Amino acid sequence: MKKASLALAVAAGTLGLTLGNVANAAFIEDSTAKLDLRNYYFDNDNRESQGDVGVGAARSGQVREWGQAFQLNLQSGFTEGPVGFGVDALGLLGVRLDGGGRAGKAGQDRTPSAMFPLESDGSARDEFSSLGLTGKIRFSKTVAQIGTLQPKLPVVTFNDGRLIPQTFEGVQITSNEIDNLTLIAGQLEHAKGRTSSNADSLAIAGAANGADSNKFYYGGADYKINKDLLVQYYYGNLDDFYKQHFLGLTHTLALGAGSLKSDLRYFDTSSDGKNGSVAGRAEGYRAAGKPGNDGEADNRTWSAFFTYSLEGHALSAGYQQVSGDSNFMQLNQTSIPGQGGATTYLITDRQITNFARAGERTWITQYGYDFGKIGVPGLTANVLYMKGDNIKAVGGDQKEWERDLTVSYVVQEGVAKGLGFAWRNASLRSEATADTDQNRLIVSYSIPLL
């Protein structure tokens, strides 16, 4: 609430400057506004929860939901002068059309929800909404933002896998003063989940007893050595949980008639604060990991992913190795009611699971095709297969595999130009979690308002 109030104050001050000085016309002239519409059908079949689970028990085998999202994105320009001020607003509304959590009675089916908040009796709400405001200040080629943020960085990435996206609250500074170099630093204090209207504290998978934190520090640099080579370094620190270093490199090489893109990533994660002591981990400041680990953050994860593109074809192959006593970790509020759902910056984080358990080794292959090359612009298809093994678990190592298929089409011209359709189908077979089949049908459209 403090961050939101501060953002409101910045917004009010900015509007006052603008209205009081006609020289600040750029504040209005450079503004943009659009309304994004997303119609989303989600079908998740947990194949290991179909049997008789007993009277009064929760039956979570099948989750079928249909909803409509409205996302209003307003971005102002900056006031004129050496120091410019601006304000952005993000309005989110999710409406339940069908399905969702159902409370049920003893002996009847009870289903959870993947897209909507739940009432106290377990039933899904008919709608939920939120408003995020972001004040911003520009000096030269540096911009500071305070309020609602949606970072998309190696050490923190907002989740957009359901009806409405996740948001964070905090401060971020982005500087482009040096050519080809982008510097970013920030601090996050709260997160608002993809199925929530409320902002809550931050945590990681494995946290217990309400253990959380309101301080996530991050920073890093993207340096573009040339048009084909980018190197990255980032650091993230969730107070009392973990510290994480990231190194990345992406390179594109002309090869024959096509091109080869290389994507290399390395994470090194260790304990911080209370997670670094036995007493702190006993309080709940712990990370999920392999048997025998008492919750201390200890992880090294590296990956290599290569894509060869030729005409409309794109063939990819990669490998990922998770080492250490704990699972790979980034911000994940699964221990906080209503705040589940997180995205990790891993080549294996696709549709159902992210193949990031302690010890896991994953091979990944992928093929994509752009049908524009044969006269159907806007139509693309992609199929992916991942196989992981060596997962450390009680009773011996475990393995799993996931197959994903995505087909999407965007209308290219006419009155429906920009209307998008997507079908995402996936199957997971795992010894570490429940076998799952999943389908997502998404219709999207963006309406420019300014």
Positive or negative torsion for Cα 130, 135, 138, 144: negative
**Distance from C-alpha of 307 to C-alpha of 89, rounded to nearest angstrom:** 37
Q: What is the pTM of this model?
A: 0.90
Q: Where are the domains of the chain?
A: 44-448
Predicted pLDDT at 7: 43
Q: Residue 235: pLDDT band by 50, 70, 90 thresholds?
A: very high
CATH T-level fold of 44-448: Porin (2.40.160)
Q: Residue 97: pLDDT band by 50, 70, 90 thresholds?
A: very high
Residue that has been written with the tokens 């249909």 in this structure: 66
Of 45, 86, 50, the C-alpha closest to 63 is 45
pLDDT digits (tens, 9 = 90+) for 354-410: 999 999 999 999 999 999 999 999 999 999 999 999 999 999 999 999 999 999 999
**Distance from C-alpha of 190 to C-alpha of 213, rounded to nearest angstrom:** 9
pLDDT digits (tens, 9 = 90+) for 49-81: 544 333 333 445 688 999 999 999 999 999 999
**Distance from C-alpha of 174 to C-alpha of 196, rounded to nearest angstrom:** 28
Contact 313, 319 (CB under 8 A): no
Beta strand pairing status for 436-448 and 142-149? Answer: unpaired
Centre a 10 Å sphere on the Cβ of residue 86 and count the other Cβ atoms it contains: 24
Centre a 10 Å sphere on the Cβ of residue 168 and count the other Cβ atoms it contains: 24
**Distance from C-alpha of 336 to C-alpha of 375, rounded to nearest angstrom:** 49
Compute the half-sphere exposure of residue 319: CA atoms within 13 Å on the CB side of its CA: 2
**Distance from C-alpha of 77 to C-alpha of 79, rounded to nearest angstrom:** 7
Residue 335 has pLDDT above 90, yes or no: no
Mean pLDDT of the chain: 90
**Distance from C-alpha of 250 to C-alpha of 106, rounded to nearest angstrom:** 55
Residue 130 has pLDDT above 80, yes or no: yes
SS3 state of residue 274: helix
With residue 14 as reference, give the H or E element that holds it: helix 2-19
What value does the mean pLDDT take over residues 193-199?
91
Which range among 15-24, 175-184, 223-232, 300-309 shows the weakest confidence by mean pLDDT?
A: 15-24
**Distance from C-alpha of 35 to C-alpha of 447, rounded to nearest angstrom:** 5
Predicted pLDDT at 99: 82
What value does the mean pLDDT take over residues 149-173?
97
Centre a 10 Å sphere on the Cβ of residue 151 and count the other Cβ atoms it contains: 18
Predicted pLDDT at 18: 42
pLDDT digits (tens, 9 = 90+) for 243-286: 999 999 999 999 999 999 999 999 999 999 999 999 999 999 99
Centre a 10 Å sphere on the Cβ of residue 200 and count the other Cβ atoms it contains: 17
Contact 410, 434 (CB under 8 A): no
SS3 state of residue 47: coil
CA 381 to chain centre: 22
Predicted pLDDT at 88: 97
What value does the mean pLDDT take over residues 96-110?
63
With residue 391 as reference, give the H or E element that holds it: strand 379-391
